[in-house]
């Protein structure tokens, strides 16, 4: 999406203003528009409208509140010491009911984008652009409208459905039947998949392609199959669609990378495993809201490399006693410790990543060790802090180790730095805390100039590996056979068997240990597999909501949310501002439980 995000930024800003004031859920009593609908019949209007929708996603994925809203209150994560929106971690539903506008930015952005897409689709056919370009841009607009409605219906349930461009403010609106919303999404993805290209054009990053549309089509069938609007063929269609992309991966330029930790390695954001990204840049002329080296971040900045990071800078040489110098100080490579969200140790070590010895996905997901550096960017070999067990050598000795087990006294005595252990295990000496815990490494960015700079790495949204998980879930639910479900999962588990510094014999043994049989595949096993593959990739609440497992798994694994989580939390609340704006006709209803 690199090309789409940036080239038409001036036009985009105008379109967003226009669409925002003219969208279907009244934002103003007097609409203020800058362009007539005929603007979408121009080349700038058609191309800029599509670019504007792509660009808007930067204000959601990879941002602070969004990351917490869609990862918190699940089996995977708990609060960090500096968490925002804390009521969603604990399901303090009294506080949630007074903060339903937590989701207002998400709601507004997607509806603004929908109205822009409607304008493109309604008037863009008359645009004076080459026919092939026009066909692709209209297909992209149709895909993006389906994208927005997909995220709305899977978050809020039944929502307003509008497929025509709205230029007039209104004080009335209502929800469409959820079956109608799903039908429109399926129509948009099906039709757009016909005209989208098989692979992105050179230099355009990873925008929508035929495979991306089919990926979301398969996932929409999967969601509808679990819903009250289910049709008999949904799971079969989900399996067939996902498997079709897998079987034609060469046509679409897609495949798994051989080694899991390489998937999120810097520079691999446009690899053959990546299907769709949200691009970012430090260049101010493209609308990013701070200059490199300034240490700040704009509203659409990618700060995903900060949120899961512990306060490693506060661990002194004598920890857990006081005193002593800090062993690792903040620098660009180690990153800014936001401590907003942390891995849930009980679930991570006992369930999702219990098979760490034979599965590389734990190593590829978490940073568990920090090197000594007495000052930022310390020179290798210089003297670092002195602990009760010896003097650390900068960039050589490990100063902090977040162990995955209880450490013996002998091991601790032989280690110069500080060792932490999972807090839920019996017999721990130095436990993980809300400030000190393993960090997620998937979003690391070592190229930042200032230690506090946001990341300009593309944010990876959809990966080819998820198609195997979609197919497995669909097959398990009756869209295929139990053997087909196991086969899909075993492809990913075979890839995960490859670990660093491994002999061929060790790899062969790991592959054997990783295989699962049809009898082992349950919906809980699939959810655990989704954690192993997609941890921290902003999918978890949706996965638990779709499979109706949110309450059960939070109560089973997450002590913070167990007492508060309720079945109605499988939908998020309609923003109160939206409800208040509907003053004509029937009142706009809130989702059950949030009244």
Per-residue pLDDT reduced to its tens digit, 286-308:
555 455 555 555 678 899 999 99
DSSP state letters, 262-285: GTTSTT-TTSTTEEEEE-----GG
Q: How confident is the model at residue 295, as a pLDDT?
A: 55
Q: What is the pTM of this model?
A: 0.93
CB-based contacts of 199, cutoff 8 Å, min separation 6:
209, 252, 253
Q: Is 531 helix (H, G, I), strand (E, B) or coil?
A: helix
Residue 523 CA to residue 543 CA, distance in Å, equals 11
CB-based contacts of 503, cutoff 8 Å, min separation 6:
none
Per-residue pLDDT reduced to its tens digit, 424-460:
999 999 999 999 999 999 999 988 888 888 898 999 9
Average pLDDT taken over every residue of the chain: 91
Which stretches does DSSP call E strand in 445-563? Answer: 459-463
CB-based contacts of 97, cutoff 8 Å, min separation 6:
573, 594, 595
The confidence band for 323, taking pLDDT boundaries of 50, 70 and 90, is confident
Lowest mean pLDDT among 41-45, 347-351, 556-560: 41-45
Exposure string (b/e) for 401-430, b if CB count within 10 Å is 16 or more? bbbbeebeeeebeebbbbbbbbebbeebeb
User: What is the chain's alpha carbon radius of gyration, rounded to the nearest angstrom?
Assistant: 24
The confidence band for 93, taking pLDDT boundaries of 50, 70 and 90, is very high
CB-based contacts of 160, cutoff 8 Å, min separation 6:
24, 25, 111, 173, 174, 175, 176
Tokens of 398: 């490990």
Residue 246 CA to residue 90 CA, distance in Å, equals 39
Check residues 203 and 94 and name the one with the higher pLDDT: 94
**Residue-range domains of the chain with CATH:** 202-276+464-521 (1.25.40), 303-442 (no CATH)
Residue ranges in 227-268 assigned as alpha helix (H): 234-247, 249-252
């Amino acid at each position: 999406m690199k090309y789409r995000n940036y080239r038409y930024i001036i036009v985009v800003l105008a379109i967003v203003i226009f669409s925002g004031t003219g969208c279907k859920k009244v934002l103003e009593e007097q609409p203020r528009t800058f362009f007539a609908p005929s603007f979408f019949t121009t080349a700038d209007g058609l191309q800029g409208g599509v670019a504007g929708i792509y660009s808007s996603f930067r204000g959601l994925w990879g941002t602070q509140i969004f990351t917490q809203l869609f990862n918190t209150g699940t089996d995977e994560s708990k609060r960090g010491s500096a968490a925002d929106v804390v009521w969603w971690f604990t399901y303090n539903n009294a506080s949630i009911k007074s903060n339903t506008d937590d989701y207002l930015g998400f709601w507004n952005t997607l509806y603004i984008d929908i109205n822009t897409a409607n304008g493109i689709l309604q008037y863009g056919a008359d645009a004076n652009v080459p026919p092939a370009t026009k066909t692709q841009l209209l297909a992209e607009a149709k895909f993006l409208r389906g994208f927005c409605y997909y995220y709305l219906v899977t978050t809020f349930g039944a929502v307003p459905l509008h497929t025509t461009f709205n230029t007039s403010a209104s004080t009335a609106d209502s929800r469409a039947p959820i079956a109608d919303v799903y039908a429109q999404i399926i129509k948009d993805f099906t039709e757009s998949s016909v005209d989208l290209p098989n692979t992105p054009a050179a230099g355009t990053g990873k925008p929508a392609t035929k495979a991306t549309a089919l990926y979301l089509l398969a996932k929409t069938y999967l969601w509808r199959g679990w819903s009250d609007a289910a049709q008999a063929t949904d799971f079969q269609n989900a399996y067939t669609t996902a498997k079709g992309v897998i079987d034609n991966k060469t046509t679409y330029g897609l495949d798994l990378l051989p080694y899991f930790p390489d998937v999120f390695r810097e520079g691999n954001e446009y690899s053959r495993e990546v299907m769709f990204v949200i691009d970012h840049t430090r260049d101010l002329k493209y609308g990013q809201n701070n200059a490199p080296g300034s240490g700040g971040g704009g509203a659409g900045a990618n700060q995903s490399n900060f949120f899961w990071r512990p306060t490693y800078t506060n661990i002194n040489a004598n920890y857990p006693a006081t005193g002593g110098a800090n062993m690792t100080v903040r620098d660009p490579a180690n990153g800014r410790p936001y401590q907003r969200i942390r891995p849930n140790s009980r679930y991570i070590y006992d369930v999702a990543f219990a098979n760490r010895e034979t599965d590389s996905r734990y190593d590829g997901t978490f940073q568990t060790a920090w090197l000594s550096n007495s000052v930022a960017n310390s020179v290798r070999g210089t003297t670092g802090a002195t602990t009760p067990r010896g003097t650390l050598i900068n960039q050589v000795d490990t100063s902090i180790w977040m162990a995955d087990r209880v450490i013996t006294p002998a091991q601790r005595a032989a280690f110069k730095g500080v060792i932490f252990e999972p807090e839920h295990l019996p017999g721990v000496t130095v436990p993980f805390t809300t400030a000190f815990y393993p960090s997620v490494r998937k979003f690391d960015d070592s190229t930042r100039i200032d230690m506090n700079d946001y990341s300009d790495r593309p944010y990876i949204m959809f990966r080819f590996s998820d198609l195997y998980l979609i197919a497995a879930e669909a097959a398990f639910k009756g869209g295929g056979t139990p053997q087909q479900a196991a086969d899909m999962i075993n492809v990913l588990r075979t890839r995960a068997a490859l670990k660093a510094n491994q002999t061929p014999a060790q790899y062969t043994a790991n592959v054997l240990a990783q295989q699962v049989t049809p009898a082992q595949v349950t919906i809980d096993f699939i959810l655990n597999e989704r954690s192993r593959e997609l941890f921290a990739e902003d999918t978890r609440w949706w996965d638990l909501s779709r499979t109706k497992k949110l309450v059960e798994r939070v109560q089973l694994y997450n002590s913070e949310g167990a007492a508060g989580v309720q079945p109605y939390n499988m939908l998020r609340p309609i923003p109160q501002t939206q409800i208040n704006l509907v003053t004509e006709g029937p009142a706009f209803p809130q989702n059950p439980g949030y009244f």
